[in-house]
Amino acid sequence: MNESDYHLHIIAFDVPYPANYGGVIDVFYRVKALSEAGVKVHLHCFEYGRGEQEVLKRCHEVKYYKRDTSFAKQLSLTPYIVNTRRSEELVNDLMKDDYPILCEGLHTTAVLSDRRLKSRKIYVRAHNVEHDYYRGLGDSERLGWKKLFYLAEAWKLRRYEPVLKRAAGIFAISLQDADYFAKRYKNVTLVPGFNSADSVCSETGRGEYVLYHGNLSVRENEEAAKWLIENVFAELNLRCIVAGLNPSEKLQKLTEKHSNVTLVANPDDAEMIDLLRQAQVNILVTNQPTGLKLKLLNALYNGRFCLVNSNMVKGTSLANLCVVADEPDPMIAEIKRLMEEDFTEEDIDSRNDTLMRMYKNTENAQKIIGKIFGR
C-alpha cells in the first residue's frame, strides 16, 4: 500500500478544538500527527456546544453530528456516553468506503455493534478504564441524583466494556491501562498521550505564581480546585491562579474570598499555554488514579516545576519529573521551596530525555500507522 492510500476514519467524542481539556488534547494532536505523517484523516465529530472549527478543515474530510443528550437516552442498559453518540448518519457515512476506523474512547464504540460494519477493521483509543473513572466520579459526588447517575453509568460501562472483543485492536494511553486491557482483550498497544509539543518548551528562570488548571466543568476538577484553594492557596502569601473551562458560580465566589487567588475562565489555547509557561509551579491533584492526565503532560512540556499528588502519576513513568506530595502541609512547604529555585537548562534537558522516550507525537503516530496499515 502506498502512503497516499492511507485513509482513516476517526470518530471523536467531542469537537477536538480548541484543544483545551485533557481528552480533546489527545485527539487533536493525534489527528495532527497522523495527518502530518501522510494519513488522510476523515474526522467525524459529535457536536454539543463547541461548534464547527475552521482549523479542522485541514483534515482530508470533517463531518459533524449532533449528540442526542435527551433524558430518554438514560433509560437504557447501554451507557449514556455511548447511547448519546449513536448516529445513523455516521454509519451511512462510514459505509461509503471500506477504510479502517478509529473510535476515540469507549464513548464512540456503538459502531462495533452495528452489523453493517462487522467486516470493517475498527480500532479503539482507550482514554481510561471508563467504569473505574465513573465510579470515582460517583464516589466523590455529594448530590444524590448525580451520584446515582455516575454509579449507574459505572455499572453500565463495566457491563458494556466486553464490546471491545470485537475491536481489531486497542490503543491504551498508560502503562496501567495497557496492563488492564491486555489481560482481557487481544492486540493491545501502549500509545501514550499526544500533546501540544514534540519537545519541552518550558522557560528557564522563575515565574511569579502557582497555577492549577483543568476543565472546571468536570466535578473532579472543581473539587480539586476547591481543595487547593481552601487547604493550600489560602495558607500562602503568593499569587495563585485557577484556570479552566466553565467554572461554576460557587467556585467563582470561593476565589473571590481569597485576595491572592485569581480565576481565569475559559482561556483560549494561546492564553492557556502562556499561563503554563509563566507559572513557577504548576500544581495538579486528582482523586482518580486512572488513565493518563493529559493536563500533566501539557504542564511538563510547557511549564516549570510540577507539584502533583501520587494519584496524578500513578501508572505512569512521570513521577521522577515531578515533586510529589499528598497533604497540604508538605505541598505548602514544597511550593515555598520551589518559588526560590531557578528552572534551568539542565532541568529542561532532563525532562526532554524522559519525555522523548515515550511521549513523542511523531513516533506514537507511527505506532498507530504500523498497527492499522501494517507499515
Read off the amino acid at residue 60.
H
pTM assigned to the model: 0.87
Confidence of residue 4 (pLDDT cuts 50, 70, 90): low
Which domains, and CATH codes, for the chain?
A: 3-195+359-373 (3.40.50.2000), 209-357 (3.40.50.2000)
Percent share of the chain, pLDDT over 70 = 98
Q: Above 90 in pLDDT, residue 119?
A: yes
Read off the amino acid at residue 280.
Q
Residue pLDDT, tens place only, 22-67: 789 899 999 999 999 999 999 999 999 999 999 999 999 999 999 9
Residue pLDDT, tens place only, 300-340: 999 999 999 999 988 777 899 999 999 999 999 999 999 99
Which of these ranges, 180-184, 275-279, 293-297, 309-313, has the smallest mean pLDDT?
A: 293-297
Residue with cell 504542564: 299
Q: What is the rounded distance in angstroms from the CA atom of residue 210 to the CA atom of residue 225?
A: 12
| Averaged pLDDT for residues 206-225 | 92
Whether residue 280 contacts residue 207, with contact meaning beta carbons closer than 8 Å, is answered with yes
Alpha carbon 220 to its chain centroid, in Å, reads 13
Residue pLDDT, tens place only, 279-291: 999 999 998 776 5
Q: Going along 15-95, which residue ranges are E strands? A: 40-47, 61-66
* Residue 119 phi, psi dihedral angles, 5° rounding: -90, -5
| Mean pLDDT (the chain, rounded) | 93
Q: What is the rounded distance in angstroms from the CA atom of residue 123 to the CA atom of residue 166?
A: 9
β-sheet bridge partners, residue 66: 47
Coil vs helix vs strand at 312: helix
Q: What is the rounded distance in angstroms from the CA atom of residue 364 to the CA atom of residue 29?
A: 11
Q: What is the rounded distance in angstroms from the CA atom of residue 19 to the CA atom of residue 27?
A: 8
Taking the alpha carbons at both ends of the chain, their separation in whole angstroms is 9
Q: Is the pLDDT higher at 18 or at 334?
A: 334
